Amino acid sequence: MDRIFQVVYKCLKWISEISGLTYHEANIIVYYMVIPTLFIFLISKILKAKSLLIGFIIFLLFVVFVISDFEKFATALFEGSVNFLNSFSQVGLNYVQASVVICVIIPTVILAALLYWHKKKPCN
């Protein structure tokens, strides 16, 4: 689990370095915007509901324009996410383990399921 955590951490650090964003901003953009957009995109393809994706993108744009200080917002949301992940200590997971389960394994399983359903269901 430590190795997976380090790979993800280094990828997010790299994204922050090449984009000029802080680590917190890069983390929030990936986990709260990019990954959900990918999921919504696949769901909209499966359901043949383009309005779902359009609505989600409009929602994201609204959120981005409403937030006056994205760096401050990202730091607060990141800290809340850390607190959430630390709460898994009650079931025996440390921060690194909870991060890998919640932020890597579960999204990967969801993505695999959505890709399977997308491939299985004919899209016109």
Ordered DSSP codes for 37-102: HHHHHHHHHHHT-HHHHHHHHHHHHHHHHH-S-HHHHHHHHHHHHHHHHHGGGGGT--HHHHHHII
Express each pLDDT in 72-114 by its tens digit: 999 999 999 999 999 999 999 999 999 999 999 999 999 999 9
Express each pLDDT in 20-38 by its tens digit: 999 999 999 999 999 999 9
Query: Alpha carbon of 55 to those of 44, 108, 112: distances in Å?
Result: 11, 24, 24
Q: Given a cut of 70, is residue 123 above it in pLDDT?
A: no
Confidence (pLDDT) at 122: 60
Confidence (pLDDT) at 120: 83
Rounded to two decimals, the pTM is: 0.89
Express each pLDDT in 48-70 by its tens digit: 999 999 999 999 999 999 999 99
Confidence (pLDDT) at 121: 64
Domain region containing 109: 2-120
Q: What CA–CA distance (Å, rounded) separates 83 from 8?
A: 19
Domain count, the chain: 1
Confidence (pLDDT) at 98: 98
